[in-house]
Amino acid sequence: MTDDLIIRKTGRVGHISLNRPKVIHSLNLDMCLAMTEALLEWREDDSVEAVMIDHSEGRGFCAGGDIAMLRNSGLKDGKEGREFFYKEYQLNHLLFEYPKPVVAFMDGITMGGGVGISQPARYRVATENTRFAMPETGIGLFPDVGGGWYLSRLAGRLGQFLALTGARLDGAECKETGLATHYLSAESLAEAKERIAENPGRIEGILGQLSAAMPEARIAGNFDKIDRFFASDVYEEILAALEADESEWAAKERDTLGTKSPQTCKVALRQLKEGAAMESFADEMRNEYRIGYHVLVMHDFLEGVRALIVDKDNDPKWDPPTPEAVTGEWIDKIFAPLPAEEEWKPL
């Protein structure tokens, strides 16, 4: 086990609290392995009727994965980073297929790896503190941990918009779009957890009773624009649509995309298109592992993390530098199958 998690049984539920507050509970390999071990044990334990996942303290549920480790690995042979992806995706898949109800409390920052352990849950609780995003295009990564499955199944073109821009949604917006199943005030979470632990057969009713009045979901006012401007699966066509429009909204989103990795934006659009047609979540994770396997050691990821997280100059030099320079052949290599012994497999 690891100090980065608090794992215990509370009443009739298994309870996992992420416990790395200094890095907003970002996931590392030991955390993924320990969560997997606990979930496998509880799956066979009749005294555990449900699972709760939350965080111990601080302003976020989970800000993502261990980006510093991934970059350091990518600068070498990529082996450590690939192992992390492999085990993290096995955890994501285990949660997706889990036979007992899982409740994820998305209180605070919920990004990247935090999305991967909350979206598979049957019950996903947002609060006024929730800040949900898949910001990977800004660091040359891609919306992994099942992003190709979840984002591609949102209404209209919202998933493509979130994947490309890295836009943040608040708790009300998460509930409005279906990324969250319930909206509670943060101050009622302790009561919710206590009652669920005592009576896990009543999760739906407990969360329903404690649900709070929700503020207006601002994103709803932009659904028509998102569907119109982000309609294409061809990245250049999205950029052209935004550039051809004189509205402030289109200009802002075009400027946002101008800061992102062109390679990653093209990867994300293809990933979501393929993800929408996937018949199983395991197929999605296999596809994402192939992408991660290749991208981890490529220039844009190493440069994106350098610019935004290491040196913090916010001036990444993408290569290829323009969408036009990112060819279909280039993207094909990123999606290429791996040798049979290296392909991802579920537990």
As annotated, the active-site residues are 65, 113, 136, 144
How would you classify residue 303: left for phi > 0, otherwise alpha for psi between -120 and 50, otherwise beta?
A: alpha
Q: Give the pairing type, strands 169-170 and 131-133.
A: antiparallel
Lookup result for tokens 């849950």: 121
| CA angle (62, 55, 293) in 5-degree steps | 30
CA–CA gap between residue 159 and residue 145 (Å, rounded) = 14
Q: Give the pairing type, strands 60-62 and 102-106.
A: unpaired
Residue 109's CB is within 10 A of a number of other CB atoms, namely 23
CA torsion sign for 107, 108, 110, 113 is negative
CA–CA gap between residue 17 and residue 54 (Å, rounded) = 5
Give whole-number Cα distances, 32 to 66, 87, 131, in Å. Answer: 11, 7, 22
